[in-house]
Amino acid sequence: MSLSFEINSRSGNARGGRLITPHAEIETPVFMPVGTVASVKGVPQDILEDLGAQIILGNTYHLYLRPGVDTVRKMDGLHGFMSWRRAILTDSGGFQVFSLNELRKVNEEGVTFRSHLDGSSHFFSPESAMEAQIGLGADIIMAFDECTEYPADQARMRASMEMTARWAARSKKYFEEHKSEVPWGPASEIPTLAAKSAARMVHPDQNPTSRANDAREMGYPVSGDSTQSLFGIVQGGMDRALRKESAERTIEIGFPGYAIGGLSVGEPRELTREIVESTLEHLPRDKPRYLMGVGTPEEIVEYASLGVDMMDCVLPTRAARHGLLFTSEGKVSIKQARYAQDAGPLDANCGCRVCNRYSRAYLRHLYASNEVLAQVLNTIHNLSFYLDTMRRVRHSISLGEESRFLSSVWSRPKP
């Protein structure tokens, strides 16, 4: 068993389900915090567990450059290296390379790019991106795709979509031939010290804390015959017909899950929604659907209501580091002087460890003083807010609250 997905409840187009990967069982729809370089910036793994993060993201481009795939592989992959027992998803590196603009050159074979760290030259192809992701050892990995820029003309969108389809076929071929090479898979060696120590840290007998209970519920022993799952990615720019064609061609290649990529690249939000909604119609109903790189709290609720099962976004963590906090009353810019004497919690409706303990005045002071703790606390709250929002979405779907779905989860006016 490498991946199974079942839908337990529905509310309109929204689906509540369970996604079982080799390392964890995930309740969907799920929000996945982004841990770019094997770290969700500012938040230790035990706190991520306490917040209820079920699956986190790693970025192949960054990890490939530093510390390098071989280093991670020798530590039993990302799970052993970063001591994370739950599920991990890695992107293919395509989007990051796409973001380099001046530093990349694309042809049929792959992408030549320069490292943002030291300017050194590297090459990613569908095959080498799969090789890197197999070495990193996430539960779910992504096909190598080209993220079409916005705006783009019709000819460019079609050419890009067609190349992504060819790259998807090459990604799958390489993956099928090499999937047994995953660090924790059938072909792996005896667990190293890193894996043993990660396992020890959450062993119920040795650490009878909430984390240990959590691990019993959430952490799955990895069976010998399980391996990673490769998801396909639908592209096609902002053209609905091209998106449909991309979905059909990707489905024809055949993947256990499908992502919608190439959105949130500068297009208006209404257009994002329109493309998401129309693309979802063409994706299999019985497979997980992953919308890449979105969005605000309101948007993740909306996308879940359209039938998206998985989402990730750097917004909660990145905004937190800039003092921008999401609350049940709307956005709070904690740097503002108006909070200097404010003894109240950041969000009276939030039960997170930050809101339970600290005042707005203290958070504002930390931010104004450029304290590291400001980034830590702000990030913990924002992630907690996102994960809580998705928890409420799941609850709402399980109650089958059809027409009241959005309003019951998100009752306040939009900012």
Count of residues making up the chain: 415
Total residues contacting Zn ion by CB under 5 A comes to 5
Secondary structure (3-state) at 38:
coil
Least Å distance, CB 374 to Zn ion, is 14
Q: What is the DSSP string of 110-144?
A: -EEEE-TTT--EEEE-HHHHHHHHHHHT-SEEE--
Q: Which is nearer to Zn ion, 207 or 328 (CB)?
A: 328
- Which lies closer to Zn ion via its Cβ, residue 111 or residue 377? 377
Name the region of 9 (left: φ>0; alpha: ψ -120 to 50; beta: rest): beta
- DSSP SS3 for 90: strand
Does the active-site annotation cover 312?
A: yes
Q: By CB under 5 A, what part of segment 297-356 binds Zn ion?
A: 350, 352, 354-355
Q: Check 50, 76, 91, 309 and give the catalytic one.
A: 91
Considering the complex, state which of residue 300 and residue 355 has its C-beta at the smaller distance from Zn ion. 355
Residue number, 251 or 373, with CB nearest to Zn ion: 373
Report if residue 381 touches Zn ion, rule: CB under 5 A: yes
Residue placing its CB nearer to Zn ion in the complex, 24 or 320:
320
Among the residue ranges 25-33, 217-225, 379-387, 390-398, the one whose residues contact Zn ion (CB under 5 A) = 379-387
Q: Please report the sign of the dihedral spanned by the C-alpha atoms of residue 171, residue 23, residue 315, residue 403.
A: positive
Does position 134 interact with Zn ion (CB under 5 A)? The reply is no
> Per the residue annotation, which of 214, 312, 347, 388 is the catalytic one?
312
Q: Are 123 and 108 in contact (CB under 8 A)?
A: no
CB-CB contact of 329 with 285 (8 Å): no
Least distance in Å: CB of 170 to Zn ion? 44
Q: How many other CB atoms sit within 10 Å of the CB of residue 70? A: 9
Whose structure tokens read 């694309």?
106
Whether 214 is catalytic: no
409 contacts 400 by C-beta, under 8 angstroms: no
Report, as residue numbers or ranges, the catalytic residues.
Answer: 91, 312
**Would you tell me which residues interact with Zn ion (CB under 5 A)?**
350, 352, 354-355, 381
